Structure 1
């Protein structure tokens, strides 16, 4: 494709002086349609997104592309290579202990001064100026921080600089052992139905350090500041069209190219809806989609240590009292006696007193007391 380019972005250096690099693929659209930024593998074990980006690149060869598309696999070269035996770690920076996906930047104090300077300007000018301001703030952090940056911040800020140039942002992740689910800003709920993803977490417009929040919260705060002055400015309007999602593609430590092809088609259905591509053959599947507000997304911690047999099916409502899992405690087994009451016996069934929708569970069968065993939707509803 004449409109295709690739570059290698230098994001840091190792102790040996070897460069830490990230590949960046760009496809230039032929109109002023919304632009999109897609990245994968910020966490080391979450590798399926790389396969999805491969399948997207393959499919995009034969699609009429309207908006600019930037795709970044292997977004975090440190995490990708952080191995311990046969396992990839790479969820937390091994030096600082901070989650790699909690190092992005947003400074709310820039909003009100910008709004005061923007009164009377048209939406297109405000959009262009605000986008430029966010990029400049990131560049200041990268290039003019006299005390320096951590490895994770340096990587995150360079990725964020790319993301701020786009209108739509998709950050591809996976869970430990997980169903497919979508983190979606509350104001963008309508867009969730255009992904072939059955479970949607509706997240508030609050910044907690993740990429999706770092790219949609500034626009939301900007809208709120204009609203306080009685000025209409809508990030969800066709003219602005700002949305960001974390797309959870299933389980970590594995890729499946066939499933990745389905996931790529799901993303293309969303991009078709948003006008980034002109490919009406890509449409969302008809399925039951469940939603849950983030405040109702609950972690269930193991009440005891042991070996876990995970029983609950993902995506299937689990009735109150039905077992999530059972824990085997061989230290409580008593051979040759009918008395299994001491310490509760070897098998312990775990259940909840209200209906839930299981979304993911811990990757290992061996757990300590207090391990985050399951994450579940409560008070869920059909979208």
Structure 2
């Protein structure tokens, strides 16, 4: 399969240097097949997605692609290069403080009015017109007479590429994390293909993340059409894959996650190769049941609960060590799980302030039924 590459400019440094990212494409963007967009490393420390993209590219070289696959590793050069000593800080725009993955935008036009004006189109024509409207909306973001922030510019450039796709995969990691998948409720069956044991089921809401920016407009369009008596299947699938810990490259583990992505692409007939999903138990919970545990006091933290393993209400999550309170009942304070849960990720540092988000846990967990 032929491979093309170009460089996409996403910003400039104060001294005038252009910031560009490599964009790779397998297949034919003009073909009738499905088009896939995969990006990684929007957060500077979350590098494992680059290894997964590398392993995918090695596999795609010998595969027939029905449609096209666009791959964007190293998607945020500013975040990647935001270092302090041995640590990479690039989760937030250092100028505005905004999370790099909350800069994407929802449609800037009234979708109900738009649908009414285009309801005479058949599905293919409707989808093509809607897709172009979404891309044009990103361009309008960049054409603002008052200018745009660094993060908005980066997001608009990436979002334009994502809006051209039928399948969007955004590769991330947690600080210290079990693998988990953000999956829209309408597409929950897709979670059975990825090599990921935990799934967070997302509602039809928008909070500025890449996956939401890709699926939310189409889900809204489907709902609006239904209100007018027209049934439209949501034509775009979008997921965020959380691939373990940040500040880590593991090429062997990347092969496992690449295999899961290939199983999904095989299921969607993007590739001709038949790739079976990994046999594993897959648990899920609604996004509203994904709970955060905040530190009730500052101190040095021992993270006790293993990630990805169920624990019961009353079992210990963390021990907080307070040497300034040595000799008192608060020299070590145990924080217990308020209810049955599956810990998914925890704060990277053992040093926490009052109110630090220490754990994220799944509650009201259920097992996905995966036949294949």
Q: Deviations over 1:84-129 (max 9, x none)?
A: 1111001110101111111111126331222112223211111111
Is 1:186 paired with 2:179?
Answer: no
Distance 1:207 1:352 in 2: 29
- What residue number does 1:200 align with? 199
Question: Partner residue of 2:72?
Answer: 72
Q: 2:106 is matched with which residue?
A: 106
Kindly indicate whether residue 31 of structure 2 is the aligned counterpart of residue 37 of structure 1.
no
Q: What secondary structure is seen at the aligned counterpart in 1 of 2:110? A: helix
Q: Which deviates further from its counterpart, 319-328 or 213-222?
A: 319-328
Matches of residues 231-380 of structure 1 in structure 2 within 5 Å? Answer: 231-235=230-234, 240=235, 242-280=236-274, 282-334=275-327, 342=328, 344-380=329-365
Segments of structure 1 that go 5 or more residues without pairing to the other structure are 335-341
Distance 1:368 1:112 in 2: 46
Residues 266, 284 of structure 1: 8 Å contact kept: yes
Q: How far apart are the structure 1 equivalents of 2:158 and 2:34?
A: 19
CA shift for structure 1 position 345: 4.2
Counting only pairs closer than 5 Å after superposition, residues 150-165 of structure 1 correspond to structure 2 as: 150-165=149-164
TM-score (norm 1): 0.93
| Structure 2: unaligned runs, 5 residues or longer | none
Q: How does 1:189-228 map to 2 (within 5 A)?
A: 189-228=188-227
Q: Distance in 1 between matches of 2:119 and 2:95?
A: 45
CA RMSD, Structure 1 to Structure 2 (Å) = 1.3
1:229 corresponds to which residue?
A: 228
Size of the alignment, in residue pairs?
367
**Larger-Rg structure:** 1
Alpha-carbon contact 2:319-2:333 (below 8 Å) kept = yes
Alignment map for 1:83-162 (pairs within 5 Å): 83-107=83-107, 109-142=109-142, 144-162=143-161
In structure 2, the partner of 1:177 is 176
Moved over 6 A (4+): none
Q: What secondary structure sits across from 2:168 in the alignment?
A: strand
Which residue of structure 2 lines up, in the alignment, with residue 46 of structure 1?
Answer: 46
Q: Which residue of 2 aligns with 1:337?
A: none
